[in-house]
């Protein structure tokens, strides 16, 4: 039985977020009923604290002390924005779609590179026009509806893109969505994007969250991903270059059609506070889900991966594999819930989270959960938290390899085993390079 929470006073940040809605509502285009209902939910819930089970290890109420203001879309001149974008570059061959401070910017995007069969439109325009399809798809299948961060995103979404991949289209080049913050004084953005992949289509999708400088940005992004029957999506999300006080909240709401395949990976080479929540529903038989992630944390950085994988139909397969390297006083969180509904027989699920602790003050919180209502399934989970193996280090040293190099070799190997899940070679190579840079910075410290 859920006891009602005791009445509490609103924090300064909560007041500011509610005020943002009230004052900005004239600028928030379309979907007014949806927004109002979401804001009402947020007013009721407030920011989640440790008493909310799914936020137990990431107490957003105490982390988000001040809610930063949202900026107008033309705050940063185009030329400076272009320079800032260079830092978010990882794939030279992708068609880039840019959001600057939460607003879709066709002028900064490579629309000419869009592969045939792929269209991009502004979410705000679609909502203002009352696009019924967009409105209907926007909340996925109601996953995460109770989540306060999703409510905030729905209430305050400024803009985003709607990407449509026509049925049967194999997109010739990857699509790279970049959510760029102009930086400087602390500021916030609320972005919602919708990617609809038609039956039998193939898409490689990258999503980058970055700031033009190391400022204290607060980004709340949500991506709704609808994958048609027999379609395949390879998706990589990553955060780059943000300040120590930055807060990055990202929600993925994905549904998979029959016979489809979704490979998702998130790479976090260290930002202030990062929460990635992934709600994935396997909606059609014989679909395959692979989720992976790698977080490299130091200082007081905090990375949280929270998954809800919902096997709604029989004969599907899911794999989750997340790794963390935690130095100094950083904190890792892995919460993975796999739900197998009563009729979802022959489900094959395996979940694994592994962390290496380098710092004495580092901590790792693991919470794997299986909720299985079907009786003919194979599901398992495993979580390990450990240190580098002294015996392995001795073995490498006994061959003449200096200790710091031996440690780096082992950490690289640990990281690579996760990065191997990324199909795109250019991205994988870039992340391997970044991992090397991260390790080198550790050695230099």
Partner 1 sequence: MLEVRNLHVSVGDRKILDGLNLTVKDGEVAAIMGPNGTGKSTLSYVIAGRDGYDVTEGEVLVDGVNILDMDATERANAGVFLAFQYPMEIPGVATMTFLKAALNAQARARGGKELQTPDFMKKVREASQKLQIPQDMLKRALNVGFSGGEKKRMEILQMALLQPKLAILDETDSGLDIDALRIVADGVNALRAQERSFLVITHYQRLLDYIKPDTVHVMARGRIAKTGGPELAHELEKTGYAGFVGEAA
- Interacting residues toward partner 1 by CB under 8 A: 389-392, 394-403, 405-406, 409-410, 412-414, 416-417
Count the Cβ atoms, other than its own, within 10 Å of residue 445. Answer: 8
Can you tell me the distance from the alpha carbon of 239 to that of 276, in angstroms, rounded to the nearest whole number? 10
Provide, rounded to whole angstroms, the least separation between the CB of residue 389 and partner 1.
8
Provide, rounded to whole angstroms, the least separation between the CB of residue 361 and partner 1.
23
Is the CB of 7 or the CB of 398 nearer to partner 1?
Answer: 398
Side-chain-side CA neighbours of 203 within 13 Å: the count stands at 38
| Three-state DSSP class for residue 417 | helix
Which among 249, 415, 387, 237 is positioned nearest to 323, based on CA atoms?
A: 415
Provide, rounded to whole angstroms, the least separation between the CB of residue 187 and partner 1.
40
Provide, rounded to whole angstroms, the least separation between the CB of residue 384 and partner 1.
13
Can you tell me the distance from the alpha carbon of 16 to that of 91, in angstroms, rounded to the nearest whole number? 38
Can you tell me the distance from the alpha carbon of 389 to that of 368, in angstroms, rounded to the nearest whole number? 24
User: DSSP string of 9-75?
Assistant: PPPHHHHHHHHHHHHHTTTS-S-HHHHHHHHHHHHHH-S--TTSGGGTTS-HHHH--SPPPBPPTTS
Can you tell me the distance from the alpha carbon of 160 to that of 177, in angstroms, rounded to the nearest whole number? 10
Cβ pair 269, 301 in contact under 8 A: no
Can you tell me the distance from the alpha carbon of 373 to that of 426, in angstroms, rounded to the nearest whole number? 41
Is the CB of 237 or the CB of 408 nearer to partner 1?
Answer: 408
Is the CB of 262 or the CB of 321 nearer to partner 1?
Answer: 321
Can you tell me the distance from the alpha carbon of 353 to that of 251, in angstroms, rounded to the nearest whole number? 19
Can you tell me the distance from the alpha carbon of 228 to that of 138, in angstroms, rounded to the nearest whole number? 16
Is the CB of 254 or the CB of 406 nearer to partner 1?
Answer: 406
User: Which burial class, exposed, middle or buried, applies to 77 when counting CB atoms under 10 A from its CB (0-12, 13-18, 19+)?
Assistant: exposed
Provide, rounded to whole angstroms, the least separation between the CB of residue 415 and partner 1.
8
Query: Rg (Cα) of the chain, in Å, rounded?
Result: 21
Provide, rounded to whole angstroms, the least separation between the CB of residue 435 and partner 1.
12
Is the CB of 141 or the CB of 412 nearer to partner 1?
Answer: 412
Count the Cβ atoms, other than its own, within 10 Å of residue 350. Answer: 15
Provide, rounded to whole angstroms, the least separation between the CB of residue 349 and partner 1.
23
Provide, rounded to whole angstroms, the least separation between the CB of residue 285 and partner 1.
34
Is the CB of 3 or the CB of 399 nearer to partner 1?
Answer: 399
User: DSSP string of 369-400?
Assistant: EEEE--SS-EEEEEEEEE---HHHHHHHHTTT
Provide, rounded to whole angstroms, the least separation between the CB of residue 420 and partner 1.
9
Provide, rounded to whole angstroms, the least separation between the CB of residue 325 and partner 1.
13
Is the CB of 57 or the CB of 414 nearer to partner 1?
Answer: 414
Is the CB of 373 or the CB of 394 nearer to partner 1?
Answer: 394
Q: How many helices (H) and strands (E) does the chain have?
A: 10, 19
Is the CB of 15 or the CB of 389 nearer to partner 1?
Answer: 389
Can you tell me the distance from the alpha carbon of 347 to that of 316, in angstroms, rounded to the nearest whole number? 5
User: Which burial class, exposed, middle or buried, applies to 367 when counting CB atoms under 10 A from its CB (0-12, 13-18, 19+)?
Assistant: middle
Is the CB of 213 or the CB of 417 nearer to partner 1?
Answer: 417
Is the CB of 279 or the CB of 414 nearer to partner 1?
Answer: 414
Provide, rounded to whole angstroms, the least separation between the CB of residue 240 and partner 1.
24
Can you tell me the distance from the alpha carbon of 235 to that of 423, in angstroms, rounded to the nearest whole number? 9
């Amino acid at each position: 039985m859920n006891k009602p929470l005791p009445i509490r006073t609103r924090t300064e940040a909560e007041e500011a977020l509610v005020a943002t809605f009230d004052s900005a509502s004239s600028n928030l285009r379309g979907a007014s009923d949806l927004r109002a209902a979401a804001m009402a939910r947020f007013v009721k819930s407030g920011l989640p604290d440790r008493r909310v089970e799914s936020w137990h290890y990431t107490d957003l109420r105490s982390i988000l002390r001040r809610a930063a203001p949202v900026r107008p879309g033309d705050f940063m001149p185009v030329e400076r924005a272009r320079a800032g974008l260079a830092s978010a570059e990882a794939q030279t061959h992708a068609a880039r779609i840019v959001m600057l401070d939460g607003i879709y910017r066709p002028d900064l995007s490579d629309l000419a590179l869009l592969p045939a069969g792929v269209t991009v439109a502004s979410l705000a325009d679609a909502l203002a026009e009352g696009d019924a399809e967009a409105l209907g798809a926007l909340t996925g299948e109601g996953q995460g509806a109770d989540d306060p961060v999703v409510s905030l995103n729905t209430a305050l979404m400024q803009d985003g893109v709607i990407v449509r991949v026509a049925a049967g289209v194999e997109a010739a080049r990857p699509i790279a969505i970049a959510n760029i913050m102009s930086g400087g004084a602390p500021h916030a953005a609320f972005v919602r994007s919708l990617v609809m992949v038609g039956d039998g289509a193939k898409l490689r999708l990258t999503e980058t969250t970055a700031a033009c400088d190391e400022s204290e940005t607060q980004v709340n992004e949500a991506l709704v991903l609808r994958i048609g029957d027999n379609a395949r999506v390879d998706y990589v999300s990553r955060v780059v270059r943000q300040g120590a006080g930055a807060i990055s909240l990202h929600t993925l709401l994905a549904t998979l059609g029959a016979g489809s395949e979704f490979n998702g990976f998130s790479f976090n080479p260290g930002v202030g506070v990062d929460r990635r929540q992934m709600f994935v529903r396997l909606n059609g038989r014989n679909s395959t889900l692979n989720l992976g992630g790698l977080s490299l944390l130091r200082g007081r950085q905090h990375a949280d991966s929270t998954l809800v994988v919902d096997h709604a139909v029989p004969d599907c397969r899911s794999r989750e594999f997340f790794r963390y390297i935690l130095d100094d006083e950083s904190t890792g969180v892995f919460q993975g819930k796999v739900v197998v509904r009563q009729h979802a027989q022959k489900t094959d699920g395996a979940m694994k989270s592994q962390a290496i602790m380098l710092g004495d003050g580092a901590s790792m919180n693991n919470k794997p959960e299986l909720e299985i209502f079907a009786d003919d399934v194979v599901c398992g989970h495993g979580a390990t938290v450990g240190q580098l193996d002294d015996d392995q280090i001795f073995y490498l040293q006994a061959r003449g390899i200096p200790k710091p190099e031996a440690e780096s070799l082992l950490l690289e190997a640990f990281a690579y085993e996760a990065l191997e899940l990324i199909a795109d070679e250019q991205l994988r190579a870039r992340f391997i390079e970044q991992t090397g840079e991260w390790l080198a910075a550790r050695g230099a410290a």
